[in-house]
Amino acid sequence: MAELPSGDPPDPEEGVPAPPSSAPGCARLQAVEPVLLLATLALGLQSPLLTQYLWTRLANGTRSGGGGCVNGSGSGDTPGQQDVESLVAHWNLYINLAGFFVGLFSVTLFGPWSDSVGRRPVLILPALGMALQAAAYLLVMYLKLPVGYLLVGRILSGLSGDYNLILAGCFAYVADVSDKRTRTFRVAVLEACLGLAGMAASIIGGQWRKAEGYLAPFWLVFAASVCAALYAALCLRESVLQRRPGRLFTLRHYMSVYHLYVDPCRGRAWKKLALYSLAFFLLITVHFGTRDILVLYELSSPLCWDSELIGYGLAAQYLTYLTSLAGLWLLQKCVADTWVAEMGLLSNILGLGVIALAATTPLMFTGYGLLFLSMAATPVIRSKLSKLVNETEQGALFAAVACTEGLCSLVATGVFNSLFPASLHFMKGFPFLFGVALLLLPAAVLGWIEIQDSKPEYSHFEDLPSPVQEVVD
């Protein structure tokens, strides 16, 4: 990848280097992190609150206060509570499906387009789409419309690329402005922003919902989405050095994503690209799937958490992004990136195993504690994928990664939200054990690639003549 110069990058609109003060209004910055922070804050507030809102609406007033059990006693599931759990899980499935089917195609359209026109447009558009989604949800709440109208907001957000396009744009931006040596840590910093914003959203959302209901937090979702769009439009410097006009509605964008995986000129890189994508798919599927059902798992017996405890639990979950960043920084000094990812997978396996068996609040938080390194694997895989393609393919690559994340969300929502109600009668924590089994596969894939990559290096050194042999010759 061509590295950016140490000074100010060229202004893509002029084609020549621009001084720092050339941008009117506020100085253009080369920090994409605020966009991701604001968008993640919006998503982190919205997702658990929407689940709780669905629980409240679909329970038809049978549960009181902020507790998580319909009967309020916490003594066990009743048939009525199980019906509510199943309804909420299925509505989560329908709402997510509505957005992901649309977003799967819009992300792969906008991502490669950004390689030509720049990253800023693909950050502005999905942020505005998230604002429209929040506005639609507020209308449902104010007017007490049927919950089916929530699908409208989800589809609007999906058409604009949704949160996955913001992820794709931000990671492509970081790939544009970093070199291969520092990229893994830069990607990890960006992922730590996910945890920082998610942790803040979890604490704010739980406390605020308990104090004032659902409307005020959703207004913050709307405001954060609008602020993300404004920052990308007014304050963010473009990272694509040579912008050129490009048609949006063309099959060429989809073909550029397709050629990432079928171009015969890539040689061995093609296999590694496919294997890393498979490992990423399985890992993110488990992340999304377990996260989808965690709030529902905590609301129901035997835990029966209220919104405040749910907020603390989500904050502990998001804290793993920060602890994983610190662990990655320390471990990179002594082991290869792949083995850092393997340690992260082990942390994930242990944490989910404890959560699956948690019947008390202390044991549940113990499971969260064991997840302290669980997010170290994803930045390693993103970085390794980025290093396998050219600088002009970063948008297409991260569109493919975002497409994979959309597919992960689709599969995770379908599998875990269907598995959860189906397992209520024999073991409520079974979906988490299922996630543990899935994580063994990416651990095997990453280890195999690292071992295969090390063999040519060792054989290369074995073939080199020793100093003694050179002297004799």
pLDDT(10) > 60: no
Strand partners, 16: 11
pLDDT(132) > 90: yes
Does domain 30-244+267-453 fall under CATH 1.20.1250.20? My reply is: yes
**What integer pLDDT is reported at residue 63 of this predicted model?**
45
pLDDT(285) > 60: yes
pLDDT class of 381 with cuts at 50, 70, 90: very high
Note the Cα 456 to chain centre separation in Å.
Answer: 34
Strand 16-17 to strand 10-11: parallel, antiparallel, or no bridges (unpaired)? antiparallel
Annotate 391-410 with three-state secondary structure.
HHHHHHHHHHHHHHHHHHHH
With vertex at residue 293, the alpha carbon angle to CA 365 and CA 434, rounded to the nearest 5 degrees, is 85
Q: Percent helix, strand and coil across the chain, each rounded to 5?
A: 75, 0, 25
* 69 close to 276: Cβ distance less than 8 angstroms: no
pLDDT class of 169 with cuts at 50, 70, 90: very high
**What integer pLDDT is reported at residue 303 of this predicted model?**
86
pLDDT class of 42 with cuts at 50, 70, 90: very high
In the predicted model, what is the mean pLDDT of residues 281-303? 89
d(CA 124, CA 249): 18
Which residue, 3, 100, 2, 23, is CA-closest to 406? 100
Give the single-character DSSP code of 10: E
What are 443's two structure tokens? 């651990």
- Could you tell me the maximum CA-CA distance found in the chain, to the nearest angstrom? 90
Query: What are φ and ψ of residue 11, in 5° steps?
Result: -75, 115
Note the Cα 266 to chain centre separation in Å.
Answer: 28
pLDDT(391) > 60: yes
**What integer pLDDT is reported at residue 80 of this predicted model?**
65
CA distances for 208 relative to 51, 216, 246, angstroms: 15, 8, 45
- For the beta carbon of residue 20, count every other beta carbon within 10 angstroms: 11
**What integer pLDDT is reported at residue 75 of this predicted model?**
45
Least confident of 243-252, 365-374, 408-417: 243-252
d(CA 192, CA 375): 9
Strand partners, 10: 17
What is 441-454 written as a DSSP string?
HHHHHHHHHHHHHH
49-92 confidence digits (pLDDT tens): 888 888 888 886 444 344 445 444 444 455 566 778 778 878 88
Residue 16: which H helix or E strand, with range?
Answer: strand 16-17
More reliable by pLDDT, 377 or 410 = 377
In the predicted model, what is the mean pLDDT of residues 150-166? 91
Least confident of 273-277, 324-328, 351-355, 456-460: 456-460
What are 406's two structure tokens? 């959309």
What are 431's two structure tokens? 């979906």
More reliable by pLDDT, 465 or 201 = 201
**What integer pLDDT is reported at residue 315 of this predicted model?**
79
- For the beta carbon of residue 291, count every other beta carbon within 10 angstroms: 16
* 120 close to 232: Cβ distance less than 8 angstroms: yes
Q: List the alpha helices (DSSP H) in 300-360.
A: 307-331, 337-356
Kindly report the pTM of this predicted structure. Answer: 0.76
pLDDT(172) > 50: yes
418-445 confidence digits (pLDDT tens): 898 888 888 888 999 999 999 999 999 9
**What integer pLDDT is reported at residue 452 of this predicted model?**
86
**What integer pLDDT is reported at residue 135 of this predicted model?**
95
Mean pLDDT of the chain: 81
Least confident of 11-20, 257-266, 403-412, 432-441: 11-20
Quickly tell me which residue has 């899980």 as its tokens: 89
d(CA 58, CA 71): 14
Strand partners, 29: 236
pLDDT class of 310 with cuts at 50, 70, 90: confident
